[in-house]
Amino acid sequence: MQAETVNDGEWALAVHGGAGDADAEHAGSEHPQAAHAALAQALNAGAMLLARGADSLEAVETAVRVLEDAPLFNAARGAVFNAAGQHELDASIMDGRNLAAGAVAAVTGVKNPISLARAVMERSEQVLLAGAGALGFAKTLELPLAEPDYFWTELRWRALERARSNQPQPRGLGTVGAVARDRRGNLAAGTSTGGITNKPVGRIGDSAIIGAGTYASNRSCAVSCTGQGEYFMRTTLARDVAALIEYAGLDLAAAVERAISELLESLGGRGGLIAVDRAGHCRCQFNTSAMYRGARSSRSGGWTAIYRDDLRAFD
């Protein structure tokens, strides 16, 4: 992701659709085309809001919802299956203005977990709600629910079957996230996922954990991660990027490079992140072969990419 500076009154938005190994299953299929299109759609939806002066939080939720609704990503519709053949969803969102945060873990049947995470942040006293409690909260608020069929995709079912029969499983792509800086300089981040194929029932990953998969502070940056969640939780990776800026005085590029290349890799973890800082610099860093990603700002048109060098511009 190219570095880009945004001045006062300008905005920047980055999104991702997961880091992993470019799957043989995806190669030569419609998948890459559709992924570029969905990333661009998410960027356009968020950009339209930011251009009109909306908050970064609004743009992040909107962009993540577009990706949650797209069946090709591992979030909400299209999420991976757990070991019991169910979808247990994790999501989190954070407001850099005041460190307000909301998250849901192992929730089932909620159409847009990112919006439930935002509701936890804004309409409850809690930061994290899990399982039946999270679903109950969604019902109380009358947020849209969906039947298991809605989340079911052939691609993810085949991945579960492969995992169950111990066939080699490429590191899956598809968790989604967004980070934004709005015209007032406020930062926000959000992440949503179905987790890891064939995960044990009740397993919760970094995408539900503030500081691990998601973090935002106006003092430093907004970060959304993807990859093997256990490593991101052990390294509190998203918060570490912010801390490297806040306490060690690194710039965003150096902070994300160090977080992925040193911290994550020192434990053998694989994945990536997107981040935006107070000045509107956007960065993406990953140590997998591919990461669905893209960015757009008030100063330049949008672009999306999957591999290292396949940036595609769009208006």
Q: Applying CB under 6 A, which of residues 96, 185, 190, 205 lies at the interface with ligand ASP?
A: 205
What whole-number distance in Å separates Cα of residue 179 and Cα of residue 192? 12
The residue behind tokens 């009154």 is 9
What whole-number distance in Å separates Cα of residue 197 and Cα of residue 79? 9
What whole-number distance in Å separates Cα of residue 235 and Cα of residue 211? 9
Min. distance of Cβ 138 from ligand ASP in angstroms? 20
Q: Applying CB under 6 A, which of residues 226, 236, 285, 297 lies at the interface with ligand ASP?
A: 226
Phi, psi of 305 (to 5 degrees): -155, 155
Kindly state whether residue 193 participates in binding ligand ASP, applying the rule CB under 6 A.
yes
Q: Applying CB under 6 A, which of residues 92, 207, 217, 224 lies at the interface with ligand ASP?
A: 207
DSSP-assigned letter for residue 24: T
Per rule CB under 6 A, count of chain residues that contact ligand ASP = 15
Reply yes or no on whether 175 is catalytic: yes
Kindly state whether residue 17 participates in binding ligand ASP, applying the rule CB under 6 A.
no
Residue with smaller CB distance to ligand ASP, 175 or 198: 175
Residue with smaller CB distance to ligand ASP, 71 or 195: 195
Question: Looking at this protein, which amino acid is placed at residue 242?
Answer: A
Min. distance of Cβ 53 from ligand ASP in angstroms? 32
Q: Which stretch binds ligand ASP (CB under 6 A): 61-69, 188-196, 288-296, 303-311?
A: 188-196
Q: Quote the crossing angle between the two packed helices 56-69 and 113-123, to the nearest 10°.
A: 150
Is 26 exposed, middle or buried (CB count within 10 Å of its CB: 0-12, 13-18, 19+)? buried
Residues 158-177 that bind ligand ASP (CB under 6 A): 172, 175
**Which residues lie closer than 8 Å to 174 by C-beta, 6 or more apart?**
17, 18, 20, 72, 73, 74, 75, 78, 80, 193, 194, 292
Kindly state whether residue 195 participates in binding ligand ASP, applying the rule CB under 6 A.
yes
Q: Which stretch binds ligand ASP (CB under 6 A): 101-109, 124-132, 191-199, 298-306?
A: 191-199
Residue pair 35/305 in contact (Cβ under 8 Å)? The answer is no
Is 196 exposed, middle or buried (CB count within 10 Å of its CB: 0-12, 13-18, 19+)? buried
Kindly state whether residue 196 participates in binding ligand ASP, applying the rule CB under 6 A.
yes
Catalytic residue among 5, 62, 140, 175: 175
Q: Which stretch binds ligand ASP (CB under 6 A): 7-15, 30-38, 60-68, 220-228?
A: 220-228
Kindly state whether residue 32 participates in binding ligand ASP, applying the rule CB under 6 A.
no
Interacting residues with ligand ASP (CB under 6 A): 18, 90, 172, 175, 193, 195-196, 205-207, 213, 226-229
| Active site residue ranges | 175
